[in-house]
Amino acid sequence: MTITPPAAAIVFDLFHTLIDTEHLRPPGFDSIEVVAEICDIEHAPMRVFWDETYLLRETTRTDLTDLAQRHCERFDVTLDEAQRAAIDSTFGVCKDDALRYPETEMVTLIASLAASTPVGVLSNCHEREVRCWDESPFADLATSFGRSTRIGAMKPDAAAYQWVLGELGAGAATAVYVGNGSSDELGGARRAGFGAVVHCNVFDRSNGLVSPDEQRRRAGQADASVDTIAQLEMVLIDLVDHGQE
Give the pLDDT confidence of 112-144 residue by residue, as tens digits.
999 999 999 999 999 999 999 999 999 999 999
Cis bond before residue 6 (omega within 30° of 0) = yes
Asked if CATH classification 3.40.50.1000 holds for the domain at 9-23+102-241, the reply, yes or no, is: yes
Give the pLDDT confidence of 1-40 residue by residue, as tens digits.
777 769 999 999 999 999 999 999 999 999 999 999 999 9
Q: Is the pTM of this model over 0.85?
A: yes
Amino acid in position 22:
E
Contact 83, 10 (CB under 8 A): no
Residues 6+ apart with CB under 8 A from 172: 161, 165, 192, 193, 194, 195
Across the chain, how many H-helices and E-strands are there?
13, 6
Give the pLDDT confidence of 204-229 residue by residue, as tens digits.
999 989 999 999 999 999 999 999 99
Q: Give the neighbor-by-neighbor strand order of the sheet with 9-12.
A: 144-147, 119-123, 9-12, 175-179, 196-200, 224-226
| Domain range summary for the chain, segments of one domain joined by + | 9-23+102-241, 26-93
